[in-house]
Structure 1
Amino acid sequence: MPVTTDVESGPFSATLRASTLPAHERANHSEYMNALLGGELTRDGYTRLAIQYYFIYQAIEQAADKLAKDPVAGKFVFEELRRLPSLERDLEHLVGPDWRETVRPLPSTERYARRVAEASDWSGGFVAHHYTRYLGDIAGGQVIRRLLERKYELDEAGSLFYHFDQLGSAPKFRDNYREQLNAAPWSEDERARLIEEAIVAFECNIAVFDELASELDEYRAA
Protein backbone atom coordinates (compact mmCIF):
# COMPACT_ATOMS: atom_id res chain seq x y z
CA MET A 1 0.00 0.00 0.00
CA PRO A 2 2.44 2.71 -1.13
CA VAL A 3 2.03 6.32 -0.08
CA THR A 4 2.33 8.65 -3.05
CA THR A 5 1.82 11.94 -1.21
CA ASP A 6 4.98 14.01 -0.76
CA VAL A 7 5.56 13.83 2.99
CA GLU A 8 7.75 16.94 2.91
CA SER A 9 5.17 19.32 1.41
CA GLY A 10 3.39 21.33 4.10
CA PRO A 11 2.74 20.34 7.73
CA PHE A 12 2.81 16.62 8.39
CA SER A 13 -0.67 16.72 9.93
CA ALA A 14 -2.05 18.06 6.63
CA THR A 15 -0.20 15.40 4.64
CA LEU A 16 -1.54 12.69 6.94
CA ARG A 17 -5.10 13.93 6.58
CA ALA A 18 -4.87 14.20 2.79
CA SER A 19 -3.23 10.80 2.41
CA THR A 20 -5.89 9.02 4.47
CA LEU A 21 -8.89 10.92 3.11
CA PRO A 22 -9.98 8.30 0.53
CA ALA A 23 -9.99 5.53 3.16
CA HIS A 24 -11.67 7.87 5.63
CA GLU A 25 -14.45 8.61 3.16
CA ARG A 26 -14.98 4.90 2.49
CA ALA A 27 -15.36 4.28 6.21
CA ASN A 28 -17.80 7.17 6.63
CA HIS A 29 -19.96 5.94 3.75
CA SER A 30 -19.88 2.23 4.50
CA GLU A 31 -23.20 0.41 4.35
CA TYR A 32 -23.39 0.06 8.12
CA MET A 33 -22.61 3.73 8.83
CA ASN A 34 -25.08 4.85 6.19
CA ALA A 35 -27.78 2.76 7.89
CA LEU A 36 -26.88 4.03 11.36
CA LEU A 37 -26.71 7.69 10.38
CA GLY A 38 -29.87 7.29 8.31
CA GLY A 39 -31.76 6.26 11.44
CA GLU A 40 -32.51 2.83 9.99
CA LEU A 41 -31.27 0.70 12.91
CA THR A 42 -32.75 -0.40 16.19
CA ARG A 43 -30.95 0.45 19.40
CA ASP A 44 -29.52 -3.07 19.36
CA GLY A 45 -28.08 -2.29 15.93
CA TYR A 46 -26.05 0.52 17.46
CA THR A 47 -25.15 -1.60 20.48
CA ARG A 48 -23.36 -4.03 18.17
CA LEU A 49 -21.00 -1.19 17.21
CA ALA A 50 -20.48 -0.10 20.81
CA ILE A 51 -19.46 -3.66 21.69
CA GLN A 52 -16.81 -3.69 18.95
CA TYR A 53 -15.52 -0.32 20.10
CA TYR A 54 -15.01 -1.71 23.58
CA PHE A 55 -12.51 -4.28 22.30
CA ILE A 56 -10.85 -1.83 19.91
CA TYR A 57 -10.34 0.84 22.55
CA GLN A 58 -9.19 -1.75 25.04
CA ALA A 59 -6.34 -2.55 22.64
CA ILE A 60 -5.51 1.11 21.98
CA GLU A 61 -5.59 2.13 25.63
CA GLN A 62 -3.54 -0.86 26.73
CA ALA A 63 -0.93 0.28 24.21
CA ALA A 64 -1.23 3.84 25.55
CA ASP A 65 -0.54 2.63 29.08
CA LYS A 66 2.61 0.85 27.91
CA LEU A 67 3.81 3.87 25.94
CA ALA A 68 2.85 6.62 28.38
CA LYS A 69 6.52 7.30 29.25
CA ASP A 70 7.78 6.99 25.68
CA PRO A 71 9.38 10.35 24.70
CA VAL A 72 7.41 10.52 21.43
CA ALA A 73 4.28 8.39 21.84
CA GLY A 74 3.76 9.66 25.39
CA LYS A 75 2.91 13.11 24.06
CA PHE A 76 -0.23 11.59 22.49
CA VAL A 77 -1.42 9.85 25.65
CA PHE A 78 -4.12 12.07 27.14
CA GLU A 79 -5.98 10.86 30.21
CA GLU A 80 -8.97 13.00 29.27
CA LEU A 81 -9.33 11.05 26.03
CA ARG A 82 -9.67 7.65 27.69
CA ARG A 83 -12.83 5.98 26.37
CA LEU A 84 -13.00 2.64 28.19
CA PRO A 85 -14.72 3.96 31.36
CA SER A 86 -17.43 5.56 29.22
CA LEU A 87 -17.83 2.45 27.07
CA GLU A 88 -18.18 0.31 30.17
CA ARG A 89 -21.01 2.50 31.48
CA ASP A 90 -22.63 2.54 28.03
CA LEU A 91 -22.55 -1.24 27.73
CA GLU A 92 -23.95 -1.71 31.22
CA HIS A 93 -26.89 0.43 30.11
CA LEU A 94 -27.24 -1.01 26.59
CA VAL A 95 -26.58 -4.70 27.30
CA GLY A 96 -27.15 -5.13 31.03
CA PRO A 97 -25.17 -5.61 34.25
CA ASP A 98 -23.75 -8.93 33.01
CA TRP A 99 -22.40 -7.43 29.79
CA ARG A 100 -18.82 -8.54 30.44
CA GLU A 101 -19.94 -12.17 30.35
CA THR A 102 -22.02 -11.81 27.19
CA VAL A 103 -20.25 -9.48 24.73
CA ARG A 104 -17.88 -10.93 22.14
CA PRO A 105 -15.75 -9.30 19.42
CA LEU A 106 -16.37 -10.02 15.77
CA PRO A 107 -13.51 -11.72 13.90
CA SER A 108 -12.73 -8.42 12.16
CA THR A 109 -12.57 -6.71 15.56
CA GLU A 110 -10.16 -9.35 16.87
CA ARG A 111 -7.91 -8.76 13.84
CA TYR A 112 -8.10 -5.00 14.39
CA ALA A 113 -7.10 -5.33 18.06
CA ARG A 114 -4.18 -7.58 17.12
CA ARG A 115 -3.02 -5.06 14.54
CA VAL A 116 -3.09 -2.26 17.13
CA ALA A 117 -0.92 -4.33 19.47
CA GLU A 118 1.53 -5.24 16.70
CA ALA A 119 1.78 -1.71 15.30
CA SER A 120 2.33 -0.19 18.73
CA ASP A 121 5.85 -1.58 19.00
CA TRP A 122 6.96 1.86 17.77
CA SER A 123 5.59 5.34 18.42
CA GLY A 124 4.42 6.04 14.88
CA GLY A 125 2.38 2.84 14.66
CA PHE A 126 0.62 3.64 17.92
CA VAL A 127 -0.07 7.22 16.87
CA ALA A 128 -1.44 6.06 13.50
CA HIS A 129 -4.18 4.06 15.23
CA HIS A 130 -4.69 6.63 17.99
CA TYR A 131 -5.11 9.48 15.49
CA THR A 132 -7.47 7.50 13.27
CA ARG A 133 -9.92 6.74 16.06
CA TYR A 134 -9.85 9.60 18.56
CA LEU A 135 -9.78 12.62 16.28
CA GLY A 136 -12.69 11.16 14.32
CA ASP A 137 -14.66 10.56 17.51
CA ILE A 138 -14.11 14.12 18.72
CA ALA A 139 -15.32 15.61 15.44
CA GLY A 140 -17.54 13.36 13.30
CA GLY A 141 -18.59 11.25 16.25
CA GLN A 142 -20.71 14.13 17.51
CA VAL A 143 -23.14 13.46 14.66
CA ILE A 144 -23.67 9.97 16.08
CA ARG A 145 -24.05 11.39 19.58
CA ARG A 146 -26.88 13.64 18.45
CA LEU A 147 -28.54 10.74 16.63
CA LEU A 148 -28.38 8.55 19.75
CA GLU A 149 -29.89 11.32 21.84
CA ARG A 150 -32.66 12.00 19.35
CA LYS A 151 -33.59 8.52 18.15
CA TYR A 152 -32.88 6.35 21.19
CA GLU A 153 -33.09 8.99 23.97
CA LEU A 154 -29.56 8.11 25.06
CA ASP A 155 -28.41 11.46 26.37
CA GLU A 156 -26.39 10.01 29.26
CA ALA A 157 -25.52 6.33 29.68
CA GLY A 158 -25.58 4.77 26.24
CA SER A 159 -23.91 7.68 24.48
CA LEU A 160 -21.15 8.58 26.95
CA PHE A 161 -18.55 7.29 24.52
CA TYR A 162 -19.11 10.45 22.47
CA HIS A 163 -18.95 12.86 25.42
CA PHE A 164 -15.65 14.76 25.46
CA ASP A 165 -16.52 17.43 28.00
CA GLN A 166 -13.16 17.02 29.78
CA LEU A 167 -11.34 18.31 26.71
CA GLY A 168 -12.66 21.84 27.05
CA SER A 169 -12.47 23.35 23.56
CA ALA A 170 -12.51 20.48 21.06
CA PRO A 171 -11.12 22.60 18.18
CA LYS A 172 -8.27 23.79 20.40
CA PHE A 173 -7.50 20.22 21.42
CA ARG A 174 -7.44 19.06 17.79
CA ASP A 175 -5.12 21.95 16.91
CA ASN A 176 -2.78 20.95 19.74
CA TYR A 177 -2.85 17.34 18.57
CA ARG A 178 -1.90 18.40 15.03
CA GLU A 179 0.94 20.50 16.42
CA GLN A 180 2.24 17.42 18.22
CA LEU A 181 2.08 15.50 14.92
CA ASN A 182 4.03 18.23 13.16
CA ALA A 183 6.67 18.44 15.91
CA ALA A 184 7.26 14.72 16.43
CA PRO A 185 10.85 13.78 15.43
CA TRP A 186 9.98 11.11 12.87
CA SER A 187 12.18 10.84 9.79
CA GLU A 188 10.72 11.11 6.30
CA ASP A 189 10.63 7.31 6.03
CA GLU A 190 8.96 7.01 9.42
CA ARG A 191 6.33 9.56 8.47
CA ALA A 192 5.58 7.59 5.31
CA ARG A 193 5.33 4.42 7.39
CA LEU A 194 2.96 6.15 9.83
CA ILE A 195 0.73 7.22 6.95
CA GLU A 196 0.65 3.65 5.65
CA GLU A 197 -0.35 2.38 9.09
CA ALA A 198 -3.08 5.02 9.40
CA ILE A 199 -4.52 3.78 6.11
CA VAL A 200 -4.38 0.24 7.52
CA ALA A 201 -6.24 1.51 10.59
CA PHE A 202 -9.02 2.90 8.40
CA GLU A 203 -9.15 -0.41 6.53
CA CYS A 204 -9.52 -2.19 9.88
CA ASN A 205 -12.47 0.05 10.69
CA ILE A 206 -14.00 -0.62 7.28
CA ALA A 207 -13.66 -4.38 7.83
CA VAL A 208 -15.58 -4.09 11.12
CA PHE A 209 -18.29 -1.98 9.47
CA ASP A 210 -18.56 -4.50 6.63
CA GLU A 211 -19.01 -7.38 9.07
CA LEU A 212 -21.64 -5.39 10.97
CA ALA A 213 -23.37 -4.72 7.65
CA SER A 214 -23.83 -8.47 7.18
CA GLU A 215 -26.16 -8.37 10.22
CA LEU A 216 -28.25 -5.40 9.10
CA ASP A 217 -31.40 -7.35 8.29
CA GLU A 218 -31.55 -8.41 11.92
CA TYR A 219 -31.22 -4.88 13.25
CA ARG A 220 -33.24 -2.70 10.90
CA ALA A 221 -35.94 -0.66 12.59
CA ALA A 222 -39.49 -1.60 11.64
Structure 2
Amino acid sequence: QDSWVNSSSGGSPDCCHPDTFWGPTDLSELLKEGTKESHDRAENTQFVKDFLKGRIKKGLFKLATTALYFTYCALEEEMDRNKDNPVFAPLYFPLELHRKEALIKDMKYFYGEDWKEKIQCSDATRQYVDRIHHVGQHEPELLVAHAYTRYMGDLSGGQVLKKVAQRALKLPITEEGIQFYTFENISNAQKFKQLYRARLNALDLDKNCKERIVEEANRAFRFNMEVFDELDKIGRSLVEEAQDGGVPVHDGKGDIRKCPYYADKLGNAAAGCPYHTVVALAKQPIVQLILAACVAVAAGAAAWYVM
Protein backbone atom coordinates (compact mmCIF):
# COMPACT_ATOMS: atom_id res chain seq x y z
CA GLN A 1 0.00 0.00 0.00
CA ASP A 2 1.54 3.34 -1.01
CA SER A 3 1.84 5.91 1.73
CA TRP A 4 0.64 8.63 -0.60
CA VAL A 5 -1.97 9.05 -3.29
CA ASN A 6 -1.27 9.91 -6.91
CA SER A 7 -1.79 13.42 -8.12
CA SER A 8 -4.68 13.99 -10.50
CA SER A 9 -2.46 15.48 -13.17
CA GLY A 10 0.36 13.08 -13.89
CA GLY A 11 -0.18 10.07 -11.66
CA SER A 12 3.04 10.73 -9.70
CA PRO A 13 3.08 11.06 -5.90
CA ASP A 14 2.02 14.46 -4.63
CA CYS A 15 4.15 14.54 -1.51
CA CYS A 16 3.35 18.15 -0.68
CA HIS A 17 -0.41 17.89 -0.45
CA PRO A 18 -1.55 17.82 3.21
CA ASP A 19 -4.06 15.05 2.54
CA THR A 20 -1.75 12.71 0.68
CA PHE A 21 -0.24 10.81 3.60
CA TRP A 22 -2.45 8.09 4.98
CA GLY A 23 -2.50 6.65 8.44
CA PRO A 24 -2.27 2.94 9.19
CA THR A 25 -4.44 0.67 7.09
CA ASP A 26 -3.86 -2.63 8.92
CA LEU A 27 -6.93 -3.38 11.01
CA SER A 28 -4.86 -4.32 14.06
CA GLU A 29 -3.15 -0.92 14.00
CA LEU A 30 -6.41 0.90 13.39
CA LEU A 31 -7.91 -0.85 16.40
CA LYS A 32 -4.91 -0.08 18.57
CA GLU A 33 -4.85 3.60 17.66
CA GLY A 34 -8.61 4.01 17.46
CA THR A 35 -9.30 2.61 20.94
CA LYS A 36 -6.41 4.25 22.78
CA GLU A 37 -8.62 6.82 24.47
CA SER A 38 -11.11 4.13 25.49
CA HIS A 39 -8.23 2.13 26.97
CA ASP A 40 -7.23 5.09 29.11
CA ARG A 41 -10.76 5.72 30.35
CA ALA A 42 -11.42 2.07 31.12
CA GLU A 43 -8.23 1.53 33.09
CA ASN A 44 -9.06 4.58 35.19
CA THR A 45 -12.45 3.33 36.33
CA GLN A 46 -12.56 2.92 40.09
CA PHE A 47 -13.26 -0.79 39.85
CA VAL A 48 -10.12 -1.49 37.79
CA LYS A 49 -7.90 0.76 39.90
CA ASP A 50 -9.07 -0.96 43.09
CA PHE A 51 -8.66 -4.38 41.51
CA LEU A 52 -5.05 -3.68 40.54
CA LYS A 53 -4.33 -2.65 44.12
CA GLY A 54 -5.76 -5.92 45.42
CA ARG A 55 -8.85 -4.22 46.84
CA ILE A 56 -11.29 -6.79 45.55
CA LYS A 57 -13.88 -8.41 47.77
CA LYS A 58 -14.69 -12.05 47.14
CA GLY A 59 -18.39 -11.30 46.73
CA LEU A 60 -17.63 -8.66 44.12
CA PHE A 61 -15.18 -10.91 42.29
CA LYS A 62 -17.91 -13.55 42.09
CA LEU A 63 -20.27 -11.02 40.52
CA ALA A 64 -17.58 -9.95 38.05
CA THR A 65 -17.06 -13.60 37.11
CA THR A 66 -20.80 -13.96 36.65
CA ALA A 67 -20.84 -10.98 34.29
CA LEU A 68 -18.03 -12.59 32.30
CA TYR A 69 -19.97 -15.85 32.11
CA PHE A 70 -23.01 -14.22 30.51
CA THR A 71 -20.81 -12.13 28.21
CA TYR A 72 -18.84 -15.09 26.90
CA CYS A 73 -21.89 -17.27 26.51
CA ALA A 74 -23.26 -14.65 24.12
CA LEU A 75 -19.95 -13.99 22.38
CA GLU A 76 -19.11 -17.63 21.76
CA GLU A 77 -22.65 -18.48 20.67
CA GLU A 78 -22.37 -15.82 17.97
CA MET A 79 -18.85 -16.89 17.07
CA ASP A 80 -20.09 -20.45 16.57
CA ARG A 81 -22.92 -19.09 14.43
CA ASN A 82 -20.46 -17.24 12.20
CA LYS A 83 -17.57 -19.71 12.15
CA ASP A 84 -17.98 -20.23 8.39
CA ASN A 85 -18.68 -16.60 7.54
CA PRO A 86 -15.66 -15.18 5.65
CA VAL A 87 -15.90 -11.88 7.53
CA PHE A 88 -15.17 -13.71 10.78
CA ALA A 89 -14.00 -17.29 10.08
CA PRO A 90 -10.22 -16.53 10.15
CA LEU A 91 -10.59 -15.41 13.79
CA TYR A 92 -12.39 -18.55 14.95
CA PHE A 93 -10.12 -20.31 17.47
CA PRO A 94 -12.50 -22.28 19.73
CA LEU A 95 -9.86 -24.65 21.12
CA GLU A 96 -7.44 -21.89 22.00
CA LEU A 97 -9.74 -19.06 23.05
CA HIS A 98 -13.23 -20.08 24.13
CA ARG A 99 -13.82 -19.28 27.79
CA LYS A 100 -17.31 -20.60 28.54
CA GLU A 101 -16.22 -24.00 29.86
CA ALA A 102 -13.51 -22.42 32.01
CA LEU A 103 -16.05 -19.96 33.42
CA ILE A 104 -18.42 -22.82 34.27
CA LYS A 105 -15.63 -24.32 36.40
CA ASP A 106 -15.18 -20.98 38.16
CA MET A 107 -18.91 -20.67 38.76
CA LYS A 108 -19.03 -24.12 40.33
CA TYR A 109 -16.10 -23.24 42.54
CA PHE A 110 -17.70 -20.03 43.83
CA TYR A 111 -21.38 -21.00 43.90
CA GLY A 112 -21.47 -24.79 44.08
CA GLU A 113 -23.04 -27.38 41.79
CA ASP A 114 -26.37 -25.53 41.79
CA TRP A 115 -24.69 -22.34 40.57
CA LYS A 116 -27.19 -21.75 37.78
CA GLU A 117 -29.94 -21.24 40.32
CA LYS A 118 -27.94 -18.64 42.21
CA ILE A 119 -26.96 -16.21 39.48
CA GLN A 120 -28.65 -13.66 37.28
CA CYS A 121 -27.57 -11.34 34.51
CA SER A 122 -27.18 -7.76 35.70
CA ASP A 123 -28.69 -4.82 33.84
CA ALA A 124 -25.38 -3.53 32.46
CA THR A 125 -24.30 -7.01 31.42
CA ARG A 126 -27.67 -7.61 29.74
CA GLN A 127 -27.19 -4.57 27.52
CA TYR A 128 -23.74 -5.81 26.54
CA VAL A 129 -25.08 -9.30 25.80
CA ASP A 130 -27.95 -7.94 23.72
CA ARG A 131 -25.55 -5.94 21.59
CA ILE A 132 -23.34 -8.97 20.96
CA HIS A 133 -26.35 -11.01 19.84
CA HIS A 134 -27.53 -8.22 17.54
CA VAL A 135 -24.10 -7.95 15.94
CA GLY A 136 -23.68 -11.68 15.51
CA GLN A 137 -27.06 -12.05 13.85
CA HIS A 138 -27.24 -8.87 11.78
CA GLU A 139 -23.75 -7.38 11.36
CA PRO A 140 -21.30 -10.28 11.76
CA GLU A 141 -18.35 -8.26 10.54
CA LEU A 142 -18.64 -6.21 13.75
CA LEU A 143 -18.25 -9.38 15.80
CA VAL A 144 -14.55 -8.96 15.02
CA ALA A 145 -14.47 -5.93 17.34
CA HIS A 146 -15.96 -7.79 20.30
CA ALA A 147 -13.75 -10.84 19.90
CA TYR A 148 -10.60 -8.75 19.52
CA THR A 149 -11.41 -6.52 22.48
CA ARG A 150 -12.09 -9.39 24.86
CA TYR A 151 -9.60 -12.11 23.95
CA MET A 152 -6.58 -9.92 23.31
CA GLY A 153 -7.19 -8.31 26.68
CA ASP A 154 -7.56 -11.67 28.40
CA LEU A 155 -4.19 -12.76 27.05
CA SER A 156 -2.49 -9.52 28.12
CA GLY A 157 -3.57 -7.50 31.15
CA GLY A 158 -5.92 -10.28 32.18
CA GLN A 159 -2.88 -12.28 33.25
CA VAL A 160 -1.95 -9.50 35.68
CA LEU A 161 -5.43 -9.53 37.18
CA LYS A 162 -5.20 -13.31 37.53
CA LYS A 163 -2.20 -12.99 39.85
CA VAL A 164 -3.76 -10.15 41.81
CA ALA A 165 -7.04 -12.04 42.36
CA GLN A 166 -5.29 -15.27 43.31
CA ARG A 167 -3.30 -13.58 46.04
CA ALA A 168 -5.90 -11.07 47.24
CA LEU A 169 -8.63 -13.69 47.59
CA LYS A 170 -6.25 -16.42 48.73
CA LEU A 171 -7.38 -18.74 45.96
CA PRO A 172 -5.78 -22.19 45.58
CA ILE A 173 -2.45 -22.44 43.76
CA THR A 174 -4.21 -25.03 41.57
CA GLU A 175 -6.07 -22.03 40.09
CA GLU A 176 -9.63 -22.87 41.09
CA GLY A 177 -11.73 -19.74 40.72
CA ILE A 178 -9.47 -18.22 38.05
CA GLN A 179 -9.76 -20.81 35.28
CA PHE A 180 -11.11 -18.02 33.09
CA TYR A 181 -7.62 -16.54 32.89
CA THR A 182 -5.91 -19.87 32.11
CA PHE A 183 -5.43 -20.67 28.42
CA GLU A 184 -4.27 -24.27 28.50
CA ASN A 185 -4.06 -24.58 24.71
CA ILE A 186 -1.90 -21.52 24.14
CA SER A 187 1.73 -22.22 24.94
CA ASN A 188 3.02 -18.78 23.98
CA ALA A 189 0.60 -15.89 24.39
CA GLN A 190 2.81 -13.39 22.58
CA LYS A 191 3.12 -15.54 19.46
CA PHE A 192 -0.58 -16.29 19.46
CA LYS A 193 -1.44 -12.59 19.65
CA GLN A 194 0.85 -11.97 16.69
CA LEU A 195 -0.98 -14.69 14.75
CA TYR A 196 -4.34 -13.20 15.70
CA ARG A 197 -3.33 -9.73 14.55
CA ALA A 198 -2.03 -11.15 11.28
CA ARG A 199 -5.41 -12.80 10.73
CA LEU A 200 -7.11 -9.49 11.50
CA ASN A 201 -4.99 -7.72 8.90
CA ALA A 202 -5.72 -10.39 6.29
CA LEU A 203 -9.50 -9.96 6.48
CA ASP A 204 -10.92 -8.74 3.16
CA LEU A 205 -12.58 -5.56 4.41
CA ASP A 206 -12.92 -2.12 2.87
CA LYS A 207 -12.03 1.13 4.61
CA ASN A 208 -15.60 1.84 5.69
CA CYS A 209 -15.97 -1.58 7.26
CA LYS A 210 -12.70 -1.20 9.17
CA GLU A 211 -13.87 2.14 10.54
CA ARG A 212 -17.13 0.55 11.69
CA ILE A 213 -15.18 -2.21 13.45
CA VAL A 214 -13.08 0.36 15.30
CA GLU A 215 -16.25 2.21 16.27
CA GLU A 216 -17.76 -1.04 17.54
CA ALA A 217 -14.62 -1.79 19.56
CA ASN A 218 -15.03 1.55 21.30
CA ARG A 219 -18.65 0.64 21.95
CA ALA A 220 -17.46 -2.64 23.49
CA PHE A 221 -15.22 -0.66 25.82
CA ARG A 222 -18.18 1.47 26.86
CA PHE A 223 -20.23 -1.61 27.68
CA ASN A 224 -17.40 -2.93 29.80
CA MET A 225 -17.02 0.38 31.60
CA GLU A 226 -20.75 0.35 32.38
CA VAL A 227 -20.32 -3.12 33.89
CA PHE A 228 -17.34 -1.86 35.92
CA ASP A 229 -19.33 1.11 37.19
CA GLU A 230 -22.20 -1.17 38.13
CA LEU A 231 -19.84 -3.47 40.04
CA ASP A 232 -18.25 -0.50 41.78
CA LYS A 233 -21.65 0.67 43.06
CA ILE A 234 -22.49 -2.83 44.28
CA GLY A 235 -19.08 -3.14 45.93
CA ARG A 236 -19.72 -0.16 48.15
CA SER A 237 -22.58 -2.00 49.82
CA LEU A 238 -20.73 -5.29 50.32
CA VAL A 239 -19.20 -6.03 53.71
CA GLU A 240 -15.42 -6.01 53.59
CA GLU A 241 -14.08 -9.50 54.06
CA ALA A 242 -11.24 -9.98 56.53
CA GLN A 243 -7.86 -10.55 54.92
CA ASP A 244 -4.76 -11.89 56.58
CA GLY A 245 -1.95 -9.48 57.28
CA GLY A 246 1.24 -9.32 55.25
CA VAL A 247 2.70 -7.59 52.27
CA PRO A 248 0.07 -5.72 50.23
CA VAL A 249 -1.22 -7.73 47.31
CA HIS A 250 -0.33 -5.16 44.69
CA ASP A 251 0.40 -1.46 44.90
CA GLY A 252 -1.31 -0.72 41.60
CA LYS A 253 1.97 0.58 40.20
CA GLY A 254 3.34 -2.41 38.36
CA ASP A 255 3.03 -5.98 37.22
CA ILE A 256 4.08 -8.10 40.21
CA ARG A 257 5.77 -10.53 37.82
CA LYS A 258 7.93 -7.82 36.28
CA CYS A 259 8.87 -5.65 39.23
CA PRO A 260 11.89 -7.41 40.83
CA TYR A 261 11.76 -5.36 44.04
CA TYR A 262 8.15 -6.17 44.77
CA ALA A 263 8.46 -9.85 43.82
CA ASP A 264 11.44 -10.16 46.15
CA LYS A 265 9.53 -8.62 49.03
CA LEU A 266 6.65 -11.05 48.50
CA GLY A 267 9.05 -13.96 48.69
CA ASN A 268 10.73 -12.76 51.89
CA ALA A 269 7.75 -11.35 53.77
CA ALA A 270 8.06 -13.87 56.56
CA ALA A 271 11.57 -12.73 57.49
CA GLY A 272 10.35 -9.82 59.56
CA CYS A 273 7.60 -7.29 60.00
CA PRO A 274 6.33 -6.80 56.42
CA TYR A 275 4.80 -3.40 56.96
CA HIS A 276 7.83 -1.72 58.49
CA THR A 277 10.21 -3.43 56.09
CA VAL A 278 8.31 -2.28 53.04
CA VAL A 279 7.85 1.26 54.35
CA ALA A 280 11.54 1.56 55.12
CA LEU A 281 12.63 0.25 51.76
CA ALA A 282 10.11 2.41 49.94
CA LYS A 283 11.93 5.49 51.25
CA GLN A 284 15.13 4.48 49.48
CA PRO A 285 15.75 6.47 46.26
CA ILE A 286 16.63 3.41 44.19
CA VAL A 287 13.46 1.66 45.28
CA GLN A 288 11.40 4.71 44.37
CA LEU A 289 12.95 4.66 40.90
CA ILE A 290 12.13 0.98 40.44
CA LEU A 291 8.53 1.49 41.58
CA ALA A 292 8.18 4.43 39.21
CA ALA A 293 9.33 2.24 36.34
CA CYS A 294 6.70 -0.31 37.27
CA VAL A 295 3.94 2.27 36.85
CA ALA A 296 4.24 2.16 33.07
CA VAL A 297 4.15 -1.65 33.07
CA ALA A 298 0.85 -1.89 34.95
CA ALA A 299 -0.77 0.86 32.89
CA GLY A 300 -0.01 -0.91 29.65
CA ALA A 301 -1.08 -4.31 30.94
CA ALA A 302 -4.33 -3.07 32.43
CA ALA A 303 -5.19 -1.16 29.28
CA TRP A 304 -5.09 -4.37 27.27
CA TYR A 305 -7.43 -6.11 29.65
CA VAL A 306 -10.16 -3.62 30.23
CA MET A 307 -12.17 -3.76 27.28
TM-score, normalised to structure 1, is 0.93
For 2:161, which of 122, 139, 144 is the aligned residue? 144
Contact 2:28 2:197 in 1 (8 A): yes
Which structure dedicates a bigger proportion of its chain to helix? 1
Contact 1:41 1:221 in 2 (8 A): no
Residue 38 of structure 1 and its aligned partner are, at CA, apart by: 1.5
Question: For 1:40-87, what per-residue CA distance to the aligned partner results, in whole angstroms no more than 9, with x for missing partners?
Answer: 222112111000000000110000110111123111111120100000
Matches of 2:233 and 2:181, distance apart in 1: 25
Matches of 2:73 and 2:22, distance apart in 1: 31
1:58 match:
73
Taking only the aligned residue pairs, the percentage that are identical comes to 32
| 2:124 is equivalent to residue 134 of structure 1 | no
Matches of 2:83 and 2:64, distance apart in 1: 27
Map 1:1-222 → 2, pairs under 5 A: 9-79=24-94, 80-120=96-136, 121-154=138-171, 155=173, 156-219=175-238, 220-222=240-242
Give the counterpart letter for 1:53 in structure 2: L
Question: For 1:79-102, what per-residue CA distance to the aligned partner results, in whole angstroms no more than 9, with x for missing partners?
Answer: 120100000000110122211011
Give the counterpart letter for 1:50 in structure 2: T
State which structure, 1 or 2, has the greater radius of gyration over its C-alpha atoms: 2
Matches of 1:8 and 1:118, distance apart in 2: 30
Q: Using a 3 Å threshold, how does the CA distance of structure 1 residues 10 and 187 change in structure 2: closer, same or farther?
A: closer
Contact 1:87 1:161 in 2 (8 A): yes
Q: Output the aligned Cα RMSD.
A: 1.6
Matches of 1:100 and 1:32, distance apart in 2: 25
Moved over 4 A (4+): none
Which runs of no fewer than 5 residues in structure 1 stay unpaired?
Answer: 1-5
**Paired residues, number:** 217
Question: For 1:153-173, what per-residue CA distance to the aligned partner results, in whole angstroms no more than 9, with x for missing partners?
Answer: 323220000001311110011
Which runs of no fewer than 5 residues in structure 2 stay unpaired?
Answer: 1-20, 243-307
Residue 214 of structure 1 and its aligned partner are, at CA, apart by: 0.7
Contact 1:7 1:15 in 2 (8 A): no
Compare relative contact order (CA 8 Å, sep 6+) and give the higher one, 1 or 2: 1
